[in-house]
Amino acid sequence: MLGNRGPGPPWTLFLFVCALFAIVPLQIHAEKTKKYSMQSLCKSHFLQNLYRKIDGALLWSQNERNLDCIITFQTHSILQRFMLRFDFLQLDCNDHLYIYDGAHAVGTYKFDLSCKNTKQNLGAMFTRTNYVTLKYVTDAWGTDSNGFKLVITAVKDPKHACTEFRCNLREFCIATELVCDGINHCADGSDETSTNLCKNSETGTILGIEVTWFVVVVVSALLVLLVLVVGVSFCICRMGWLYTSTGNGTVQQQNASYSLQQMYGSNGAMKPSSGSMTQLTVTATGPGSIHQQPGNWRHPAGPLGFLHSTPARARLYCQAK
Protein backbone atom coordinates (compact mmCIF):
# COMPACT_ATOMS: atom_id res chain seq x y z
CA MET A 1 0.00 0.00 0.00
CA LEU A 2 2.72 2.48 0.91
CA GLY A 3 4.68 1.77 -2.23
CA ASN A 4 1.82 3.04 -4.43
CA ARG A 5 1.42 6.40 -2.74
CA GLY A 6 4.70 7.91 -3.86
CA PRO A 7 7.22 9.88 -1.79
CA GLY A 8 4.87 11.76 0.42
CA PRO A 9 1.33 11.74 1.78
CA PRO A 10 -1.42 13.19 -0.45
CA TRP A 11 -2.60 15.62 2.22
CA THR A 12 0.55 17.71 1.72
CA LEU A 13 -0.41 18.50 -1.87
CA PHE A 14 -3.98 19.12 -0.74
CA LEU A 15 -2.85 21.72 1.80
CA PHE A 16 -0.68 23.42 -0.82
CA VAL A 17 -3.58 23.71 -3.28
CA CYS A 18 -5.89 25.02 -0.55
CA ALA A 19 -3.37 27.70 0.40
CA LEU A 20 -3.09 28.87 -3.18
CA PHE A 21 -6.85 28.99 -3.66
CA ALA A 22 -7.21 30.97 -0.44
CA ILE A 23 -4.57 33.58 -1.25
CA VAL A 24 -4.31 33.96 -5.03
CA PRO A 25 -7.93 35.09 -5.64
CA LEU A 26 -7.07 38.31 -3.82
CA GLN A 27 -4.90 39.21 -6.79
CA ILE A 28 -7.22 38.21 -9.64
CA HIS A 29 -9.15 41.44 -10.18
CA ALA A 30 -6.41 43.87 -9.24
CA GLU A 31 -2.83 43.72 -10.43
CA LYS A 32 0.12 46.03 -10.65
CA THR A 33 1.42 47.48 -13.88
CA LYS A 34 2.62 44.85 -16.33
CA LYS A 35 5.86 45.71 -18.10
CA TYR A 36 6.64 44.53 -21.60
CA SER A 37 9.46 45.06 -24.04
CA MET A 38 8.53 45.16 -27.70
CA GLN A 39 11.41 42.82 -28.46
CA SER A 40 9.85 40.08 -26.32
CA LEU A 41 6.26 40.79 -27.36
CA CYS A 42 7.11 40.56 -31.05
CA LYS A 43 8.69 37.12 -30.89
CA SER A 44 7.03 34.67 -33.25
CA HIS A 45 5.02 32.32 -31.03
CA PHE A 46 1.38 31.52 -30.41
CA LEU A 47 1.09 33.91 -27.43
CA GLN A 48 1.57 36.84 -29.78
CA ASN A 49 -1.98 36.38 -31.11
CA LEU A 50 -3.67 36.19 -27.71
CA TYR A 51 -5.53 39.11 -26.14
CA ARG A 52 -3.75 40.36 -23.03
CA LYS A 53 -6.10 41.49 -20.27
CA ILE A 54 -4.58 44.32 -18.25
CA ASP A 55 -5.42 47.04 -15.75
CA GLY A 56 -2.24 48.88 -16.65
CA ALA A 57 0.85 48.22 -18.76
CA LEU A 58 4.15 49.85 -19.64
CA LEU A 59 5.59 49.13 -23.09
CA TRP A 60 9.07 50.19 -24.08
CA SER A 61 11.03 49.99 -27.29
CA GLN A 62 14.68 50.74 -28.02
CA ASN A 63 16.10 50.43 -31.50
CA GLU A 64 14.35 47.18 -32.46
CA ARG A 65 14.99 46.34 -36.08
CA ASN A 66 13.07 44.42 -38.73
CA LEU A 67 9.92 44.10 -36.66
CA ASP A 68 6.42 43.61 -37.98
CA CYS A 69 4.14 42.49 -35.18
CA ILE A 70 0.62 43.04 -33.87
CA ILE A 71 -0.36 43.10 -30.17
CA THR A 72 -3.86 43.44 -28.72
CA PHE A 73 -4.82 44.44 -25.16
CA GLN A 74 -8.21 44.06 -23.50
CA THR A 75 -9.77 45.52 -20.35
CA HIS A 76 -11.19 43.33 -17.60
CA SER A 77 -14.60 45.03 -17.80
CA ILE A 78 -16.76 46.06 -20.74
CA LEU A 79 -17.37 49.36 -18.90
CA GLN A 80 -13.71 50.29 -19.24
CA ARG A 81 -11.71 51.71 -22.11
CA PHE A 82 -8.03 52.47 -22.63
CA MET A 83 -6.04 55.63 -22.13
CA LEU A 84 -2.64 55.74 -23.87
CA ARG A 85 0.09 58.18 -22.96
CA PHE A 86 3.77 58.40 -23.96
CA ASP A 87 6.48 59.10 -21.42
CA PHE A 88 9.02 58.98 -24.25
CA LEU A 89 8.58 58.97 -28.03
CA GLN A 90 11.31 59.23 -30.66
CA LEU A 91 10.75 57.04 -33.69
CA ASP A 92 12.85 56.77 -36.82
CA CYS A 93 11.20 58.18 -39.92
CA ASN A 94 11.01 54.72 -41.48
CA ASP A 95 9.45 53.18 -38.35
CA HIS A 96 5.71 53.29 -37.71
CA LEU A 97 3.48 52.54 -34.75
CA TYR A 98 -0.15 52.07 -35.79
CA ILE A 99 -2.86 52.24 -33.12
CA TYR A 100 -6.26 50.64 -33.83
CA ASP A 101 -9.41 51.19 -31.78
CA GLY A 102 -10.51 47.56 -31.68
CA ALA A 103 -9.45 43.95 -31.36
CA HIS A 104 -7.90 43.62 -34.83
CA ALA A 105 -5.45 45.51 -37.03
CA VAL A 106 -7.99 45.94 -39.84
CA GLY A 107 -9.76 48.94 -41.26
CA THR A 108 -8.63 52.49 -40.60
CA TYR A 109 -6.11 53.00 -37.84
CA LYS A 110 -6.72 55.63 -35.19
CA PHE A 111 -3.12 56.90 -35.10
CA ASP A 112 -0.06 56.50 -37.31
CA LEU A 113 2.98 57.54 -35.30
CA SER A 114 6.41 58.16 -36.77
CA CYS A 115 9.30 60.63 -36.52
CA LYS A 116 6.99 63.66 -36.85
CA ASN A 117 5.19 62.84 -33.61
CA THR A 118 6.31 63.74 -30.08
CA LYS A 119 4.80 63.07 -26.69
CA GLN A 120 4.01 66.77 -26.25
CA ASN A 121 1.82 67.12 -29.35
CA LEU A 122 0.01 63.84 -28.73
CA GLY A 123 -0.97 64.08 -25.08
CA ALA A 124 -3.38 61.42 -23.76
CA MET A 125 -5.21 59.26 -26.32
CA PHE A 126 -8.42 57.31 -25.64
CA THR A 127 -10.15 54.37 -27.27
CA ARG A 128 -13.91 54.03 -27.55
CA THR A 129 -13.87 50.24 -27.12
CA ASN A 130 -12.37 48.05 -24.45
CA TYR A 131 -9.69 46.86 -26.92
CA VAL A 132 -6.59 48.48 -28.36
CA THR A 133 -4.37 46.96 -31.04
CA LEU A 134 -0.81 48.05 -31.79
CA LYS A 135 1.04 47.31 -35.01
CA TYR A 136 4.75 48.07 -34.88
CA VAL A 137 6.83 48.11 -38.06
CA THR A 138 10.56 48.95 -38.16
CA ASP A 139 13.29 48.79 -40.78
CA ALA A 140 16.84 47.45 -40.63
CA TRP A 141 18.45 50.70 -39.49
CA GLY A 142 18.27 52.77 -36.34
CA THR A 143 20.11 54.20 -33.34
CA ASP A 144 19.88 53.54 -29.63
CA SER A 145 18.03 56.82 -29.20
CA ASN A 146 15.09 55.53 -31.25
CA GLY A 147 12.16 54.02 -29.39
CA PHE A 148 9.28 54.87 -27.09
CA LYS A 149 7.82 54.30 -23.64
CA LEU A 150 4.05 53.90 -23.70
CA VAL A 151 1.72 53.76 -20.68
CA ILE A 152 -1.60 51.97 -21.24
CA THR A 153 -4.28 52.25 -18.53
CA ALA A 154 -7.77 50.80 -18.32
CA VAL A 155 -10.05 53.63 -17.16
CA LYS A 156 -13.72 53.91 -16.28
CA ASP A 157 -15.60 57.10 -17.14
CA PRO A 158 -16.91 59.32 -14.30
CA LYS A 159 -20.53 58.46 -15.12
CA HIS A 160 -19.95 54.95 -13.80
CA ALA A 161 -19.67 54.17 -10.11
CA CYS A 162 -16.07 53.94 -8.90
CA THR A 163 -15.14 51.56 -6.09
CA GLU A 164 -11.36 51.91 -6.57
CA PHE A 165 -9.21 55.01 -7.17
CA ARG A 166 -10.57 58.15 -8.85
CA CYS A 167 -8.16 60.53 -10.56
CA ASN A 168 -8.36 64.20 -9.66
CA LEU A 169 -8.37 66.08 -12.96
CA ARG A 170 -10.60 64.04 -15.23
CA GLU A 171 -12.12 61.89 -12.51
CA PHE A 172 -11.32 58.66 -14.29
CA CYS A 173 -11.51 55.51 -12.20
CA ILE A 174 -8.47 53.20 -12.28
CA ALA A 175 -7.48 50.06 -10.39
CA THR A 176 -6.24 50.66 -6.85
CA GLU A 177 -3.21 48.46 -7.49
CA LEU A 178 -1.94 51.00 -10.04
CA VAL A 179 -1.66 53.68 -7.36
CA CYS A 180 1.82 54.49 -6.04
CA ASP A 181 3.61 52.10 -8.41
CA GLY A 182 5.95 54.76 -9.83
CA ILE A 183 4.01 55.15 -13.10
CA ASN A 184 1.68 58.06 -13.86
CA HIS A 185 -1.60 56.40 -14.89
CA CYS A 186 -3.97 59.34 -14.31
CA ALA A 187 -1.99 61.66 -16.61
CA ASP A 188 -2.25 64.35 -13.90
CA GLY A 189 -0.01 62.47 -11.45
CA SER A 190 -2.69 62.21 -8.77
CA ASP A 191 -2.25 58.45 -8.48
CA GLU A 192 1.39 58.98 -7.47
CA THR A 193 0.86 61.91 -5.09
CA SER A 194 -1.82 60.42 -2.84
CA THR A 195 0.02 60.69 0.47
CA ASN A 196 -2.09 58.28 2.49
CA LEU A 197 -2.29 55.55 -0.12
CA CYS A 198 1.38 55.74 -1.05
CA LYS A 199 2.41 55.62 2.61
CA ASN A 200 0.29 52.51 3.19
CA SER A 201 1.68 50.96 0.05
CA GLU A 202 5.25 51.39 1.27
CA THR A 203 4.55 49.96 4.72
CA GLY A 204 2.62 47.01 3.30
CA THR A 205 5.71 45.27 1.95
CA ILE A 206 8.26 42.82 3.33
CA LEU A 207 11.71 42.89 1.74
CA GLY A 208 10.19 44.87 -1.12
CA ILE A 209 7.49 42.23 -1.71
CA GLU A 210 3.79 42.62 -1.02
CA VAL A 211 2.65 40.93 2.17
CA THR A 212 0.23 38.67 0.26
CA TRP A 213 2.85 37.40 -2.14
CA PHE A 214 5.40 37.11 0.65
CA VAL A 215 3.00 34.79 2.50
CA VAL A 216 2.45 32.77 -0.69
CA VAL A 217 6.20 32.35 -1.16
CA VAL A 218 6.81 31.37 2.47
CA VAL A 219 3.92 28.89 2.61
CA SER A 220 4.93 27.35 -0.71
CA ALA A 221 8.55 26.99 0.40
CA LEU A 222 7.52 25.34 3.69
CA LEU A 223 5.19 22.90 1.95
CA VAL A 224 7.81 21.96 -0.62
CA LEU A 225 10.34 21.44 2.17
CA LEU A 226 7.85 19.27 4.04
CA VAL A 227 7.23 17.15 0.95
CA LEU A 228 10.98 16.69 0.46
CA VAL A 229 11.55 15.71 4.09
CA VAL A 230 8.68 13.20 4.08
CA GLY A 231 9.80 11.80 0.72
CA VAL A 232 13.42 11.35 1.81
CA SER A 233 12.34 9.75 5.11
CA PHE A 234 10.02 7.37 3.28
CA CYS A 235 12.76 6.35 0.84
CA ILE A 236 15.28 5.78 3.63
CA CYS A 237 12.83 3.64 5.62
CA ARG A 238 11.88 1.64 2.55
CA MET A 239 15.51 1.04 1.62
CA GLY A 240 16.26 -0.12 5.17
CA TRP A 241 13.31 -2.50 5.13
CA LEU A 242 14.35 -3.95 1.77
CA TYR A 243 17.96 -4.31 2.96
CA THR A 244 16.88 -6.10 6.13
CA SER A 245 14.55 -8.45 4.25
CA THR A 246 17.16 -9.23 1.61
CA GLY A 247 19.87 -9.78 4.23
CA ASN A 248 17.80 -12.26 6.26
CA GLY A 249 16.86 -14.22 3.17
CA THR A 250 20.47 -14.42 2.03
CA VAL A 251 21.70 -15.62 5.44
CA GLN A 252 19.00 -18.28 5.65
CA GLN A 253 19.75 -19.47 2.14
CA GLN A 254 23.47 -19.63 2.87
CA ASN A 255 22.88 -21.56 6.11
CA ALA A 256 20.63 -24.08 4.35
CA SER A 257 23.12 -24.56 1.54
CA TYR A 258 25.98 -24.99 4.01
CA SER A 259 24.02 -27.61 5.98
CA LEU A 260 23.30 -29.63 2.86
CA GLN A 261 26.94 -29.49 1.83
CA GLN A 262 27.94 -30.80 5.25
CA MET A 263 25.49 -33.70 5.05
CA TYR A 264 26.09 -34.83 1.48
CA GLY A 265 29.09 -35.03 -0.76
CA SER A 266 29.37 -34.16 -4.40
CA ASN A 267 28.22 -37.61 -5.44
CA GLY A 268 25.19 -37.61 -3.17
CA ALA A 269 26.63 -39.82 -0.44
CA MET A 270 26.01 -38.78 3.12
CA LYS A 271 29.08 -37.57 4.92
CA PRO A 272 29.99 -38.90 8.35
CA SER A 273 29.59 -36.70 11.36
CA SER A 274 32.55 -34.90 12.88
CA GLY A 275 32.67 -37.25 15.87
CA SER A 276 32.72 -40.57 14.09
CA MET A 277 33.04 -42.03 10.64
CA THR A 278 31.20 -45.02 9.37
CA GLN A 279 33.23 -47.06 6.90
CA LEU A 280 31.64 -49.71 4.80
CA THR A 281 33.95 -52.55 3.77
CA VAL A 282 33.06 -55.42 1.46
CA THR A 283 35.05 -58.63 1.85
CA ALA A 284 34.62 -61.30 -0.74
CA THR A 285 36.01 -64.81 -0.55
CA GLY A 286 37.93 -66.05 -3.44
CA PRO A 287 40.60 -64.73 -5.69
CA GLY A 288 38.50 -61.94 -7.10
CA SER A 289 37.95 -60.17 -3.84
CA ILE A 290 37.11 -56.50 -4.07
CA HIS A 291 37.55 -53.86 -1.37
CA GLN A 292 34.75 -51.34 -1.72
CA GLN A 293 35.74 -47.76 -0.92
CA PRO A 294 33.46 -45.50 1.08
CA GLY A 295 30.71 -44.12 -1.08
CA ASN A 296 28.12 -45.70 -3.29
CA TRP A 297 28.24 -49.46 -3.71
CA ARG A 298 29.11 -50.74 -7.12
CA HIS A 299 25.96 -52.84 -7.45
CA PRO A 300 22.72 -51.28 -6.26
CA ALA A 301 20.57 -53.25 -3.94
CA GLY A 302 17.92 -55.29 -5.66
CA PRO A 303 14.30 -55.68 -4.70
CA LEU A 304 15.14 -58.28 -2.06
CA GLY A 305 18.08 -56.49 -0.57
CA PHE A 306 21.80 -56.30 -1.08
CA LEU A 307 22.58 -59.82 0.05
CA HIS A 308 20.41 -61.36 -2.69
CA SER A 309 21.81 -59.17 -5.45
CA THR A 310 25.51 -59.64 -4.67
CA PRO A 311 27.23 -62.97 -5.32
CA ALA A 312 29.88 -62.41 -2.67
CA ARG A 313 29.22 -62.68 0.98
CA ALA A 314 29.67 -59.24 2.41
CA ARG A 315 30.49 -58.41 5.93
CA LEU A 316 29.92 -54.95 7.30
CA TYR A 317 32.34 -53.63 9.75
CA CYS A 318 31.64 -50.46 11.67
CA GLN A 319 34.76 -48.86 12.80
CA ALA A 320 34.61 -45.87 15.03
CA LYS A 321 37.25 -43.29 14.47
Q: Cα(28)–Cα(50) distance, rounded to whole angstroms?
A: 19
What is the tens place of the pLDDT at every residue in 187-240?
999 999 876 777 655 555 666 666 777 788 888 899 999 998 988 888 888 887
pTM, 2 dp: 0.57
Mean pLDDT of the chain: 77
Q: What integer pLDDT is reported at residue 21 of this predicted model?
A: 52
Residues 6 or more apart from 277 whose CB is under 8 A from it? 319, 320, 321
- The CATH class for the domain spanning 31-203 reads mainly beta
Q: What integer pLDDT is reported at residue 320 of this predicted model?
A: 46
**Above 90 in pLDDT, residue 112?**
yes
Q: Cα(86)–Cα(59) distance, rounded to whole angstroms?
A: 9
What is the tens place of the pLDDT at every residue in 145-185?
999 999 999 999 999 999 999 999 889 999 999 999 999 99
**Above 60 in pLDDT, residue 66?**
yes
Residue predicted with more confidence, 184 or 10: 184
Q: What integer pLDDT is reported at residue 137 of this predicted model?
A: 96
What is the tens place of the pLDDT at every residue in 13-50?
555 555 555 544 444 444 678 999 999 888 876 666 78
**Above 80 in pLDDT, residue 286?**
no
Query: Is the separation of the CB atoms in 22 and 219 below 8 Å?
Result: no
Query: Is the separation of the CB atoms in 100 and 135 below 8 Å?
Result: yes
**Above 60 in pLDDT, residue 303?**
no
**Above 70 in pLDDT, residue 107?**
yes
Which residue ranges make up each domain of the chain?
A: 1-28+206-266, 31-203, 277-284+299-321
What is the tens place of the pLDDT at every residue in 237-269?
888 777 777 665 555 555 555 555 555 555 555
Query: Is the separation of the CB atoms in 256 and 248 below 8 Å?
Result: no
